[in-house]
């Protein structure tokens, strides 16, 4: 998926949760939504965008959520990510 589309989708999610008066809770809800509903590859691509482009285009709340909950969003590497072959062969 194109990074620009992921940024737009993350910003839409962030806009929804920005209504929470508790900023920390809002950031946690953004990260929880990404974790529950996004494919791990999408989350890793978004985190890579934060690493490589400083999260260019992301709303501040989305960027803060990604930075604060990075480990949860990235999760463990899949076998294909570790050795380049699906299934670890």
Residue 37 counted as domain residue: yes
Full residue range of the structural domain in which residue 27 is found: 3-75
Residue 56 counted as domain residue: yes
From residue 86, give the alpha-carbon distance in Å to each of 5, 42, 54, 83. Answer: 26, 17, 30, 8
Return d(Cα 74, Cα 42) in angstroms, integer.
9
Q: By the 8 A CB rule, do 62 and 10 touch?
A: yes
- Tens digits of residue pLDDT in 56-87: 999 999 999 999 999 999 987 655 555 554 44
Its pTM stands at 0.82
| Number of domains forming the structure of the chain | 1
Q: By the 8 A CB rule, do 17 and 31 touch?
A: no
Residue 85 counted as domain residue: no
Residue 66 counted as domain residue: yes
Residue 84 counted as domain residue: no
Q: By the 8 A CB rule, do 88 and 51 touch?
A: no
- Tens digits of residue pLDDT in 4-58: 999 999 999 999 999 999 999 999 999 999 999 999 999 999 999 999 999 999 9
By CB neighbour count within 10 A (0-12 exposed, 13-18 middle, 19+ buried), where does 12 fall?
A: exposed
């Amino acid at each position: 998926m194109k990074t620009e589309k992921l940024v737009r989708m993350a910003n839409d999610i962030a806009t929804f949760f920005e209504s929470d008066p508790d900023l920390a809770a809002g950031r946690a809800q953004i990260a929880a939504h990404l974790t529950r509903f996004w494919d791990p590859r999408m989350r890793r691509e978004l985190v890579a965008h934060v690493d490589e482009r400083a999260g260019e285009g992301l709303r501040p709340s989305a960027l803060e959520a990604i930075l604060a909950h990075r480990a949860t969003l990235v999760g463990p590497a899949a076998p294909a990510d570790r050795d380049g072959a699906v299934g670890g062969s």
